[in-house]
Amino acid sequence: MTEASAWTEAAEALADEVTAGAPAWHDAVRNTPRHLLVPRWWRRIPNSPAREWELADLAEDSPERLRAAYTDETLVTRVGPTHADHAVPGERGKGDPTSSSTLPGLIVSMAHRLDVKPGHKVLDVGTGSGYSAGLFARRFGDENVTSVDVDPYLVEAARTRLAEFGRTPRLAAVDATGELPEPEYDRIMATVSVRPVPASWLRTLRPGGRLVTTTAHTALLITADMGTDGIARGTVQPDPATFMETRREADYPPKLDDLFRSVRVREGEQVRPPEGAVPDLWQEWPLRWLYELETPGVETRAATYPEDGRRVVWLLAADGSWARAEDGTAPLVHQGGPRRLWDDLERARRKWEENGRFSLHALRAELGAEGGALLSPDGSWVLPV
């Protein structure tokens, strides 16, 4: 089997898997050599307390490299400020992902929802490896696709690698939350998460145009169509999608590890029983995301102690506010700092229950250059996005 036939067969198998509900994208997936766009990547080291990663650096024709490239999985290409391309053998990445090649099935699903028509001008926000730009360019023509990323290296690497197999969409290194390379687009798809939706996206989206994006720190995927009044209206989609947030620096701000260490077992300024059960915010994700929409920027951590099965949830904020809720035989909530974060969580839960615990897929989106919101089914709950 030749190298070409090996990757094309792998790509065709991937296309069969991820385009079953969107067959118009089969040709693009089958003919886009993802292994050329992701020559190296980071793999998370299991049970690493320091969020460490090891480098995957495999020969181009390696069966393992082809298997990874044509499996419907995300490949992390940048950890903290370090791209896998720049790592030396044996080096470990440390921190959280700052760029990746998104799993192909999610790209296809979002692109299918975007509903691009021939001749449409498409903006791909978050170039990353260049894979989504390559798919759009294969199907709709290089001249109709613009892809942007804040990282100049990512843009240049994607440009070079796309050109190796004949794809030449327009790529630009810009902060996508600011001004965009062209004055108008028919379709905008973002594989980075935002909050708020940048005004520049809504100003450049033509009437009748469509936007597909996600809200930062949630997995809420929004599809919205631009009206003649400058407001894009749509809904939250049933399939969740999680992306890294837009950034302006080489890395994201550090997490609140120092605050966590200082309050992990500290007595709160206020101590009281919780209102109802202590929620598992990793299982009760609708509540977690509603809380994030109402109280943005709060870090959530949790642990279960094996000796007694007791579960603890911490909420942490950059202003020094914190909360710790412990379940068990005598549940307690400790809170400190300028705000009472657990009070806010319980208030969000009460409001959601008063609204019948509606599905988050029932939220309606109204997005304008002056601001946007998600609205509960009866319109009584307005959540800024």
Q: Please say whether the beta carbons of 30 and 15 come within 8 A.
A: yes
What angle do the packed helices 131-140 and 104-114 form, to 10 degrees?
40
For residue 283, give both structure tokens: 């299982």
Q: Which of 367, 380, 274 is nearest to 323 (CA)?
A: 274
pTM: 0.94
- For the chain, domains (ranges, CATH) are 3-78+99-236 (3.40.50.150), 258-354 (3.30.160)
Q: Which of 330, 333, 378 is nearest to 351 (CA)?
A: 378
Helices (DSSP H) in the chain: which residue ranges? 3-18, 26-30, 34-37, 63-69, 104-114, 131-140, 152-164, 199-204, 257-263, 285-294, 341-354
Q: Which of the residues are catalytic?
A: 99
For 370, the enclosing helix (H) or strand (E) is none
User: pLDDT digit of tens for each residue in the chain (385 aa)?
Assistant: 455 678 999 999 999 999 999 999 999 999 999 999 999 999 999 887 768 999 999 998 899 999 999 999 999 999 999 999 999 999 999 989 999 999 999 999 999 999 999 999 999 999 999 999 999 999 999 999 999 999 999 999 999 999 999 999 999 999 999 999 999 999 999 999 999 999 999 999 999 999 999 999 999 999 999 999 999 999 999 988 999 999 888 888 889 999 999 999 999 999 999 999 999 998 899 999 999 999 999 999 998 887 777 899 999 999 999 999 999 889 999 999 999 999 999 999 999 999 999 999 999 999 999 999 999 999 989 999 9
